[in-house]
Amino acid sequence: MRLRIAATAALLLMTISAFGIDNSALRPPAGAKVAIVVFEDLECPSCGSAEPMLKDASQTEQVPLVRHDFPIPQHRWSADAHIYARYFDTVSPAVGEEYRHWVFLNQRSINKSNLRDVTNKFASEHKTALPLFVDPSGQLKAKVTADFNLGQQLGVSQTPTVYVVGDVKNSPSSIPVTDMTQLVTTIDTMKRQVAAEAPVKSTKTKSSTAKSTKKK
């Protein structure tokens, strides 16, 4: 067993070395100092349970929520749902975000047979149309696959996998969140790390100006 684990670890290390890890995935998006990053599966019940906490933390803590597609191969309709989500991103990022949230809230009533119909209904309610072929060129599927491959390179093995990431250099730039009840606490921890590295504004110029004025 130990030899098998060691061999698996070595193979993973070789794969990461060969393809490289996109460290920007575990960094906040441009303009943000702290963010939540999640690798998720739209059919995953645990992801559905985590969704309200992720949305609430993003809004209350005022940090962006960055989603990555990680459809589990054994799930029957997840991959298609992720492609639909990517299609709605092309309509509007807000509509794509709303679709993902809507799917999580309605997971129990969705199956492989009715996914297209319920997605079509969602599109109508959001004043858009779902084309007969949403991904004729395969570009949307390629984006989903790229996210999945990135997750594998980062060692993601389950969903949801959540990180709090920060724009820091002297501290770890990402903190895994294994207990969703600690999400807000982890965000606060990262915010403190970011603040600790922020440059201190010099008051030397102001002091010199004040002295010069006093002499006059």
Q: With 90 as the cut, is the pLDDT of residue 123 above it? A: yes
Residue 6, pLDDT score: 36
CA distance linking residue 58 with residue 69, whole number of Å: 18
**Which residue segments constitute the domains of the chain, with CATH numbers given?**
22-195 (3.40.30.10)
Look up the pTM and report it.
Answer: 0.81
CA distance linking residue 187 with residue 58, whole number of Å: 9
Q: With 70 as the cut, is the pLDDT of residue 8 above it? A: no
Residue 195, pLDDT score: 94
When pLDDT is averaged across residues 92-111 and rounded to a whole number, the result is 97
pLDDT band at 118, cuts 50/70/90?
A: very high
* pLDDT, tens digit, 9 for 90 and up, residues 143-202: 999 999 999 999 999 999 999 999 998 888 999 999 999 999 999 999 999 999 987 665
**103 half-sphere exposure, CB direction, 13 A CA radius:** 31
- For residue 24, count CB atoms less than 10 angstroms from its CB and return exposed for 0-12, middle for 13-18, buried for 19 or more: exposed
When pLDDT is averaged across residues 98-110 and rounded to a whole number, the result is 97
How much of the chain, in percent, has pLDDT values that exceed 90? 77
**In contact, 111 and 81? CB cutoff 8 Å:** no
Would you give the distance in Å from CA 33 to the centre of its chain?
15
Token code pair at residue 190: 């990262």
When pLDDT is averaged across residues 122-144 and rounded to a whole number, the result is 97
Mean pLDDT of the chain: 86
* pLDDT, tens digit, 9 for 90 and up, residues 66-95: 999 999 999 999 999 999 999 999 999 999
Most confident of 17-26, 126-135, 206-215: 126-135
